[in-house]
Amino acid sequence: MTNVGIQVKQISKHYRHKDALKGVSLNFAPGKIYGLLGRNGAGKSTLLNIIANRIFPSSGDITFDGVTLNNNDQALGQCYLMSEVNLYPDGDRLERLFKNTELFYGSFDYDYAHRLARKFELDLHQKFGKLSTGYRSIFKLIVALASPARYVFFDEPVLGLDANHRELFYRELVDNYAKTNRTFVISTHLIEEIAAMVEHVFIIKSGELIVDDEVEHLLSQGYLITGTKADVQVYCQGMKVLGHENLGSLYGCYVLLGDDTLPTPPANITTERLDLQRLFVQLTNIDEEELDA
Amino acid sequence: MKSKTMRVTTYFFKRMLRQILYGLGVVLAIILFSWLLSNRDTEFFANFKIQFGALIGFFAMFVALTPYADFKLLIQNGVSRRTFWLGRTIALVVINLLGQILDMILGFFKIGTPVAENSAAWQLYGRFFQSASLNWLIWAVLVLVGSTVTVLLASVVGSCFSLLTKRVRRYVFLALAAAFFLGIRLIAMVMTGDAVVHFAIWLRNIIYFLIGGTPNVGAGHFNPTVPFISLLVLCSAALVASYYVTQQFKIKNE
C-alpha cells in the first residue's frame, strides 16, 4: 500500500480525569493543506503528539502508507511536528541544530533555511535557549519548512509572532507548498488567518471529530439567516440550527444545510454565507443544555 | 547496521565524547589549580597517578543517567525509540570500552597507573591460572565486562527516572533515602545475637559465591567463572531492562 498517507484509526487517549480523544479516525492524504481546528483542550495537540509518536494512544493505531507508525523510523523520518513544546537543547546553537536535522532526516535545505533566517531576522549564531518565545517559533518554522519531511504538522505555529512575521510565514508556507506539494497540517486558533489556504478541515470538539470536510464544501453549507424572529423560525424549520442570536431588532439563526440547497428566501429574510471562523464558533459552541447538564 | 542507526550512533558518540572530554577537562583544570596552589611543587606530578579509563567510565555513567534530553531531541527529529536506544547504548558501551582499553595500553607502557596490579579484579583473580598472559586476558575481560555492566545499569536507572515527572522524582529520592535508613534500622532491631551471626555468614557465603572464592583460598586465586557468568547475565538483564524502559518514554508536560 503506497501513497495512502497517514491514517488515524480509532485513536482514544484517556488521562486520569479526562478523555482527551474519543475514537478519532481521519486521513491525511499526500499533497494537501489541512486545518485541524478545535477549542482549547479539544484534543488537537494530543492528536498531533500521538501522530508524531511523542506520546502513546490508549487505543487505536496510526499507519503511514499502510504501515504502523510506532517505532517506524522510515515513517517517522517523513513527519515533522512543530509544536509549542521546546524539545531542542537550550545550549545548542541554531546552526548546530540545522546540522542535527540534516543528520537525522538525511537532508536539509541550508540555502532555503538561511534565506528564511534573513527574512525573519533570526541570528543563527545564537543558542536556542537564548531566543524569545517568538524567535523560538520562528526557528522551528524554518526547520519545518527546510526539512525534507513529506508531512509537516504545525501546532500553534505563530505563537509569539507579530503580524508581519505571521504574514511572512503564511506566504512562505504557500510558496513552499506550491513548490514541493508536501502535506501541511495547521492547528491554530487564528482561523481567519489560515482560512484562505486550507483545503480540508478537521474540527475536534471535546475529543471527538465533528467535521471532516473540504473547506469549500463545508462553507457552502453554513448560513446566517436574519429577519424577524417569527419569520426566521418559520423559514428555518427542518434545517440543522447551530445557534441563534439577537441582532438589534432582528433575529439571526446559524444553520448548516447538509447536502440540501437553501430554499429561496422570502423578501423579509436575508441569507448570508458564513466564513470558516464564524462557522467554527457556531459548531464548537457549548450548548446551553450541555452547560445545564 | 541501518544508515539511520549508524547516523544516530555517530551523533551520540560525538556528543558523549564531547561531554566526557569536557568533564576530563574540568578534572585536569582542578588538578592544575591544585598544583598551582601547592606552589608548583616539583614532586606533585611524580606522585600523581590518574586512571583515564576509570574517569571516562565515571563520566560515561553520568551521561548514561540522563537520557531524556537526548530522547526529546531525537523524537523531534523523527527517530524511533528503538533506534534511539540502540544508538545510545552502542555509543555508551564503545566509549566506555575505549576508555578501559586506553587505560590498559597506558598501563602496559607504564604510563600513569599500572592498572592491572592496582585493580580489584587483579587482586582477586590475577594468579588463578599458571599462565601470566591468561591471567592478564581474564583480568582484561572481567574489567571490560564489569565496566560495561556499570554503564548499562546506570542507563537503566537513568531511564527509569526519565519516566517520572520532576515532582515524582523528588518524592522517589526521598522515599528511597527513607527506606534505606528505615531498612537498616529495622534489620538492626530484628537481628540480635545468633541471628546477626547467621545473617553475616549467609551474606559472606553469597559474596564469596558471587566473586568465585572460598574463605580458605587466598586472594588472587579466586575462580573467575561465576563472576564472569554473573556479569554476563547482569549485562543481558540490563540491556533488556533499558530497552523495555526506553520503549515507554514519552514527552512530558513540564
* Cα–Cα distance list, A38 to A44, A46, B10, B202 (Å): 7, 12, 41, 64
Position A1 in a domain: no
Position B166 in a domain: yes
Site of grid cell 518524592: B171
Position A225 in a domain: yes
Cell of A63: 499507519
DSSP E strands in chain A: the ranges are: 6-14, 19-28, 33-38, 59-64, 67-68, 79-82, 151-155, 183-187, 200-205, 208-214, 222-227, 240-247, 250-256, 270-273
Domain coverage including residue B103: 3-247
Position B252 in a domain: no
The predicted-structure confidence for A44-70, as pLDDT tens digits, reads as follows 999 999 999 999 999 999 999 999 999
Integer Cα distance of A81 and A101 in angstroms? 13
As a whole-number percent, the residues of chain A with pLDDT over 90 amount to 80
Give, as one character, the DSSP assignment of residue B151.
Answer: H
Cell of B146: 564489569
Determine which of B12, B77, B80, B252 to mutate to test the interface with A (most A C-beta atoms within 10 Å).
B77
Give this prediction's pTM. Answer: 0.88
- Co-location of A112 and A50 in the same domain: yes
Name the closest residue on chain B to residue A57, using Cα atoms. B250
The predicted-structure confidence for A71-122, as pLDDT tens digits, reads as follows 999 999 999 999 999 999 999 999 999 999 999 999 999 999 999 999 999 9
* Cα–Cα distance list, A226 to A159, A178, A229, B252 (Å): 36, 40, 8, 48
Q: Which residue among A195, A216, A237 closes a domain?
A: A216
Instruction: Say which range, B6-10, B33-37, B231-235, B236-240, has the weakest mean pLDDT.
Output: B33-37
- Co-location of A148 and A22 in the same domain: yes
pLDDT reading at B234 higher than 80:
yes
- Co-location of A124 and A209 in the same domain: yes
As a whole-number percent, the residues of chain A with pLDDT over 70 amount to 97
ipTM of the complex: 0.89
**Residue A64 in 3-state DSSP?**
strand
Contact A51, A6 (CB under 8 A): yes
A148 close contact with B: CB closer than 8 A: no
- Co-location of A177 and A239 in the same domain: no
Quickly state the pLDDT bin for A290 (edges 50, 70, 90). Answer: low
Domain coverage including residue A21: 6-216
B83 close contact with A: CB closer than 8 A: yes
Cell of A279: 462557522
Handedness of CA A185, A190, A193, A195 (dihedral sign): positive
The predicted-structure confidence for B111-139, as pLDDT tens digits, reads as follows 655 556 677 888 888 888 888 888 888 88
Position B253 in a domain: no
All residues of chain A having their beta carbon less than 8 Å from the beta carbon of residue B81 are 53, 71
- Co-location of A200 and A247 in the same domain: no
Site of grid cell 499533497: A31
CATH number of the domain residue A242 falls in = 3.30.70
Q: Which residue among A185, A216, A247 closes a domain?
A: A216
pLDDT of residue A293: 47
Q: What angle do CA B235, B15, A105 make, to 5 degrees?
A: 100
The predicted-structure confidence for A243-252, as pLDDT tens digits, reads as follows 988 878 899 9
Residue A121's CB: how many other CB atoms inside 10 A?
A: 9
Work out the minimum CA distance from A215 to partner chain B, whole angstroms: 30
Determine which of B12, B80, B163, B165 to mutate to test the interface with A (most A C-beta atoms within 10 Å).
B80
CATH number of the domain residue A199 falls in = 3.40.50.300
What value does the mean pLDDT take over residues B162-178?
89
- Co-location of A150 and A134 in the same domain: yes
All residues of chain B having their beta carbon less than 8 Å from the beta carbon of residue A104 are 4, 7-8, 11, 74, 77-79
A87 close contact with B: CB closer than 8 A: yes
**Residue B211 in 3-state DSSP?**
helix
Cell of A141: 518554522
Integer Cα distance of A99 and B1 in angstroms? 22
Q: Which amino acid is at A29?
A: A
Site of grid cell 474519543: A22
pLDDT of residue B196: 75
Position A84 in a domain: yes
Q: How many domains does chain A have?
A: 2
- Co-location of A180 and A100 in the same domain: yes
